[in-house]
Amino acid sequence: MNIRLHYLALILCFAALSCAQDPTGPEPPEPLAALRDEAPFPVGVAFQASRLNNAQYTSVAARTFSSLTAEWEMKMNPISGGRGIYNWQAADDLVAFARVQGMQVHGHTLLWHETTPAWLENFAGSDQEFEEAIQEYITTVVDRYKDDVASWDVVNEAFDNNTGLLRNSVYRRRMGDDYLARVFQYARDADPNVLLFYNDYGTPYDANKRAAVLAMVDDFQSRGIPIDGVGLQVHVTYTFPPIGDITAMMDAIVSRGLKVHLSELDVRVNPDGDLTTLTPARSQAQKERVGEIVSAFMALPSDKRYAITMWGLRDPDSWLISFWGNPEWPLLFDADFAPKPAYEGFLEALQPE
Ligand code: G3I
């Protein structure tokens, strides 16, 4: 056999051997695509400044999401230490992180009755002085972040459950029933470009609250009060509310020419406390639930799809665990920062039909 044929035979044998004996074992699975790369709209995560020094949190959040909402640090309680006293550091750190990672920032939230600092709850001055303090706060915060924050929840959860009546918050008591319109205007005056949202939970299934929110939108639009969108928090379970109710509320917002933000998505899989661990069956149900919600959002006109924001990164981070007292696994990543079937459900729903 001439030398050339000899070498050719050797090469063929080696090639055959290397295919037959795979020393590295099975190929590792391809990593799942990043939601931020696949979604035709911003996909957000509620994030806390305390996690910025944890490389697992920052790398998974930055790879996966294109929007960031401060779960705590951009609320009035952590920012406002008193009239003219602002604690910016934590919010600045989150905004800086988002900027470096090419993530937009959704500001949450300028006014929320649950995070009003004591100096305002117990404000000793006149009603006019109270409103001047609120206007000063909104103007200062919105102006500070106008180059970084794409949108604000101007008011969060202003209407009572079931009745749909205006909550008797300190804002209402000191500024009157029309305070919402004025604070939206103060935010607009501070930044002509930022998108202004009203944010609430329960509107898909709480008829009176839904009616109150839509009546507010109609009233704003009749008076030229600036509003660009409505946030549906979508703190849901794997079965409730029916997707048709969520879709009906989204359509009601879109029909008014406003954008929809699914602003705080999490999917409880243990609402009845019957699980002590996440079963494959319940995980599959969660995957399908996430998929149907994302698919319903995908069906909206593209210019009305503001964003979908997950209310936390990993299951153990969720507020739901302490709030309801049950073991819960409501998010897209497990305790080891691994994507769950729910992540795959989100991803699959992003693929064009
Ligand atoms: O980190 C601070 C700590 O430095 C400080 O000493 C301590 C003093 O109380 O507070 C710590 O902050 C906590 C913060 O979460 C961060 O962990 C606050 O106590 C705690 O009240 C806060 O809870 C947040 C809650 O809103 C109230 O702001 C939850 O994380 C957050 O998930 C929850 O999110 C809300 C949305 O904003 C509105 N929709 C409902 C949703 C669930 O309640």
Q: What is the pLDDT of residues 38-67, one digit of tens each?
A: 999 999 999 999 999 999 999 999 999 999
The reported pTM is: 0.93
Interval 211-268: pLDDT, tens: 999 999 999 999 999 999 999 999 999 999 999 999 999 999 999 999 999 999 999 9
User: In 10 A of CB 92, how many CB atoms?
Assistant: 15
Tell me which of 264, 328, 344, 353 is the catalytic residue.
Answer: 264
CA of 46 to the centre of ligand 1 (A): 11
- In ligand 1, the atom with minimum distance to the C-alpha of 109 is 37
pLDDT at 2 over 60: no
Interval 80-126: pLDDT, tens: 999 999 999 999 999 999 999 999 999 999 999 999 999 999 999 99
Tokens 């080696």, residue? 14
List all residues 6 or more positions away from 100 whose beta carbon is below 8 Å from its beta carbon.
none
In the prediction, which pLDDT does 186 show?
A: 98
- Omega prior to 109 cis, within 30 of 0: yes
- In ligand 1, the atom with minimum distance to the C-alpha of 75 is 28
- In ligand 1, the atom with minimum distance to the C-alpha of 312 is 32
CATH class as words, domain 35-350: alpha beta
Q: Which region among 2-16, 121-135, 205-219 has the lowest average model confidence (pLDDT)?
A: 2-16
- Residues within a 6 A CB radius of ligand 1: 48, 71-72, 75, 108, 114-115, 156, 233, 264, 319
pLDDT at 11 over 90: no
**Active site (annotated) includes residue 114:** no
List all residues 6 or more positions away from 233 whose beta carbon is below 8 Å from its beta carbon.
199, 200, 201, 202, 263, 264, 265, 311
Nearest CA to ligand 1 atom 34: 71
**Active site (annotated) includes residue 264:** yes
pLDDT at 293 over 60: yes
Nearest CA to ligand 1 atom 7: 78
Model confidence band, residue 143 (pLDDT cutoffs 50, 70, 90) = very high
- In ligand 1, the atom with minimum distance to the C-alpha of 264 is 39
Pairing label, strands 43-47, 305-310: parallel
Give, for ligand 1, the residue of 319, 321, 324 to mutate: max count of ligand atoms closer than 8 Å to Cβ.
319
Domain ranges of the chain: 35-350
CA of 71 to the centre of ligand 1 (A): 7
The 3-state secondary structure of the chain reads CCHHHHHHHHHHHHHHHHHHCCCCCCCCCCCCCCHHHHCCCCEEEEECHHHCCCHHHHHHHHHHCCEEEECCCCCHHHHEEECCEECCHHHHHHHHHHHHCCCEEEEEEEEEHHHCCHHHHCCCCCHHHHHHHHHHHHHHHHHHCCCCEEEEEEEECCECCCCCCECCCHHHHHHCCCHHHHHHHHHHHHCCCCEEEEEECCCCCCHHHHHHHHHHHHHHHHHCCCCCEEEECCEEECCCCCHHHHHHHHHHHHCCCCEEEEEEEEEECCCCCCCCCCCHHHHHHHHHHHHHHHHHHHCCCHHHEEEEEECCCEHHHCHHHHHHCCCCCCCCECCCCCECHHHHHHHHHHCCC
